[in-house]
């Protein structure tokens, strides 16, 4: 039997996240969990990953949404950043 899944889609390139929304999604976790260090946008910045503070990571994501790991999936109270379809399928079983 298949579960019915309802979802809300948001294009955060057009409807950008606020700092408060990012902090809420992180649920007390580290911004590095949400940050896409492999993004070409990040590589062009030539910044040292290990020298960036949590505040700086959030500032960068606010300025450049391409630095946010996609997709962002919230299931119940748990948030997944960059989860692939197999991981999401396993979660929903």
Q: Reduce the DSSP state of residue 79 to 3 states and report it.
A: strand
Condensed to tens digits (0 to 9), the pLDDT of residues 38-57 reads 999 999 999 999 999 999 99
Task: Provide the b/e sequence for 6-32 (b: ≥16 CB within 10 Å).
Answer: eeeeeeeeeeebeeeebeebbeeeebe
Whole-number mean pLDDT of the chain?
A: 91
Residue 1 has pLDDT above 70, yes or no: no
Delineate the domains of the chain, giving CATH numbers in brackets.
19-92 (3.40.30.10)
Q: State the Cα torsion 69-11-58-79 to the nearest 10°.
A: -60
């Amino acid at each position: 039997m298949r579960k019915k899944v309802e979802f809300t889609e948001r294009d955060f390139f057009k409807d950008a996240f606020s700092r408060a929304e990012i902090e809420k999604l992180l649920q007390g976790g580290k911004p590095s969990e949400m940050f896409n260090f492999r993004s070409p946008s990040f590589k062009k910045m030539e910044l040292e990953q290990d020298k960036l503070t949590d505040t700086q990571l959030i500032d960068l994501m606010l300025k450049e949404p391409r630095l946010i790991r996609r997709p962002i999936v919230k299931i119940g109270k748990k948030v997944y950043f960059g989860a692939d379809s197999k991981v999401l399928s396993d979660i929903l079983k």
